[in-house]
Amino acid sequence: MEITIEHLVNELKDILPEERVVINETVRELHSKDESYHTSSLPDVVVFPKTTEEVSGIMKVASEHKRSVVPFGVGSSLEGHVIPYEKGITMDFSLMNKILEIREKDFLVRVQPGVTRSQLNKELKKYGLFFSVDPGADATLGGMAATNASGTTAVKYGVMRDQVRDLEVVLADGGIIHTGNLAAKSSSGYHLNGIFVGSEGTLGCFTELTLKVYGIPEHVMAARASFPTINDAVEAVINILQAGIPIARIELVDELSMKQVNHYNETSYREEPTLFLEFHGNEAGLKQDIEFTKEIVLDHKCIEIAFETETAARNKLWDARHNLAYSYVHSYPGKKLMSTDVCVPISELAGAIQHAKEVLDKVGLIGGILGHVGDGNFHVLLMIDTNDKEEVKKADEINESIVLYALKRGGTCTGEHGVGIGKRKYQEEEHGAALFVMEKIKKALDPQNILNPNKVFQLKDRG
């Protein structure tokens, strides 16, 4: 006989105080969606653990009664990752938000999963350190690890997977494991960090993360470089990378998106395809990198290059870039954001972006193109009316065409947003027989399929 919601709630209240087991509809509604266009779904109950032991207890109850559990950070995901389509328990980690340890000599920090990127960097600044992964949203570190997030600085410092030294993970049966250690390298055993980072809550709940951090650079310089065409800008990027210039950020924003930048941020940047760049280093090295970069962009028909040395001007530039998705949302009230997220080898980048532009023109939807082009990752931002079936169909057509183009050229359907439900249908095309191995791992670690079920891929059978 299936357990009732009332019975489930009472068992959860044996583990947590009553105020941290919530069935209030307003709270459930807040946990029924993310930032995506995907359909919402209410959980039966939302729980707010504070410790690893409480998470373990919750998982034991869920396992005993075969109830699904969806981990939740701040809900900033873009592919429906945190939407509880099988209702069950949503586990909100916002109260597990402590920075537990800063090992400045080891360039490591140990944090709980609810710590946000900005919260961590505010504390690290006191030590002359910073955490490098920089997605647009102020996401939690647990959520960033769950999706293998990246962002503007990935071209220099790498993605989330590159920063994770160790995870404390609560498994589906309530067991607790560590996936790594504090050492800079290890050849011991299977690389469990690589399995759990990017697993989107389908293999376990992260309760602690040990992460790499970096010294704040001695000097930082930002720049904007405008070009007559996107192709000119992309070719400049490829040449900058081929020249070995240690660029810290290199972002592409197309002319439509530059108009959005100016409108939303009240800036007056040129409304042409633009590269946003940043350089980190010592004074002498920085000067050389900047001069070399200037030569390259001018060789690719650069219309204007402007440098920002003051902190306030640099922050304004990067705030404008990070706010770009919100500027589209602001400009199209009542519509939802849909973002493509392919990543291709650098040699295929110019062709992939040109293909995206051609598809946009053919299908007839307005979309901005932007991305972390230093590592081949770009996005098409589409604003769609989810009640307009024809518009949704057109958006899906654009996304599918861009994804299939990328896959045929050795790319991926998602560079940083994750699979969730939105990219699920492309997993077999991308991974082939390896998808069967992933399913085996899922079934071994979560035989009842209770951890964020049917995200990443759908198992052929449940239980």
Instruction: List, for residues 39-54, the tens digit of each pLDDT value.
Output: 999 999 999 999 999 9
Tokens of 435: 């998808």
Phi, psi for residue 71 in degrees, rounded to 5: -70, 145
pLDDT recorded at residue 309: 84
Can you tell me the distance from the alpha carbon of 130 to that of 264, in angstroms, rounded to the nearest whole number? 28
pLDDT recorded at residue 1: 54
* Confidence grade of residue 33 (pLDDT, cut at 50, 70, 90): very high
CATH number attached to the domain at 99-215:
3.30.465.10
How many Cβ atoms are within 10 Å of 271's Cβ, its own excluded? Answer: 18
* Confidence grade of residue 159 (pLDDT, cut at 50, 70, 90): very high
Q: Count CA atoms closer than 13 A to 10's CA, side-chain side.
A: 5
Instruction: List, for residues 384-403, the tens digit of each pLDDT value.
Output: 999 999 999 999 999 999 99
Instruction: List, for residues 207-231, the tens digit of each pLDDT value.
Output: 999 999 999 999 999 999 999 999 9
Reduce the DSSP state of residue 338 to 3 states and report it.
strand
- Measure Cα distances from 383 to 178, 234, 269, 418, 426 in Å: 41, 24, 23, 20, 22
Length of the chain equals: 463
CB-based contacts of 19, cutoff 8 Å, min separation 6: none
pTM here is 0.95
Tokens of 242: 């081929």
pLDDT recorded at residue 177: 99
CATH number attached to the domain at 5-94:
3.30.43.10
Question: Any idea which of 128-132, 134-138, 246-250, 265-269 has the lowest mean pLDDT?
Answer: 134-138
Reduce the DSSP state of residue 72 to 3 states and report it.
strand
pLDDT recorded at residue 61: 98
What is the rounded average pLDDT for all residues in the chain? 96
Contact 328, 337 (CB under 8 A): yes
pLDDT recorded at residue 459: 85
421-431: average pLDDT? 97
Outline which parts of the chain fall under CATH 3.30.70.2740.
Answer: 333-417
pLDDT recorded at residue 463: 41
* Confidence grade of residue 462 (pLDDT, cut at 50, 70, 90): very low
CB-based contacts of 101, cutoff 8 Å, min separation 6: 108, 109, 110
How many Cβ atoms are within 10 Å of 264's Cβ, its own excluded? Answer: 17
Percent of the residues in the chain that have a pLDDT greater than 90, as a whole number: 94
CATH class of 219-325: alpha beta
Contact 416, 149 (CB under 8 A): yes
Contact 398, 340 (CB under 8 A): yes
Indicate whether 460 pLDDT > 80. no
Can you tell me the distance from the alpha carbon of 452 to that of 368, in angstroms, rounded to the nearest whole number? 32
Instruction: List, for residues 75-120, the tens digit of each pLDDT value.
Output: 999 999 999 999 999 999 999 999 999 999 999 999 999 999 999 9
pLDDT recorded at residue 137: 84
Indicate whether 31 pLDDT > 70. yes
Outline which parts of the chain fall under CATH 3.30.43.10.
Answer: 5-94
Q: Label the pairing between strands 89-92 and 69-72.
A: parallel
In eight-state DSSP terms, residue 207 is: E
Outline which parts of the chain fall under CATH 3.30.465.10.
Answer: 99-215
Contact 455, 201 (CB under 8 A): yes
Tokens of 438: 């992933």
In eight-state DSSP terms, residue 50 is: -
CATH number attached to the domain at 333-417:
3.30.70.2740
* Confidence grade of residue 136 (pLDDT, cut at 50, 70, 90): confident
CA dihedral 194→196→198→203, nearest 10 degrees, is 150
Indicate whether 313 pLDDT > 60. yes
